[in-house]
Amino acid sequence: MAALKCPRCDSENIMPNLTVVDRVETMHDDYLAIEIDRKPDALVFKGSHRELLRANVCGECGNVDFTVDNPKELWETYSQRENS
63 versus 77: smaller Cβ distance to Zn ion: 63
Judged by CB under 5 A, how many residues of this single chain contact Zn ion?
Answer: 8
Q: Is 60 in the site for Zn ion (CB under 5 A)?
A: yes
Closest by CA to 81, choosing from 21, 26, 37, is 37
* Choices 25-33, 40-48, 54-62, 68-76 (CB under 5 A): range interacting with Zn ion: 54-62
What string marks each residue from 5 to 44 as x (binds Zn ion by CB under 5 A) or -? -x-xx-x---------------------------------
| Residues of this chain that bind Zn ion (CB under 5 A) | 6, 8-9, 11, 58, 60-61, 63
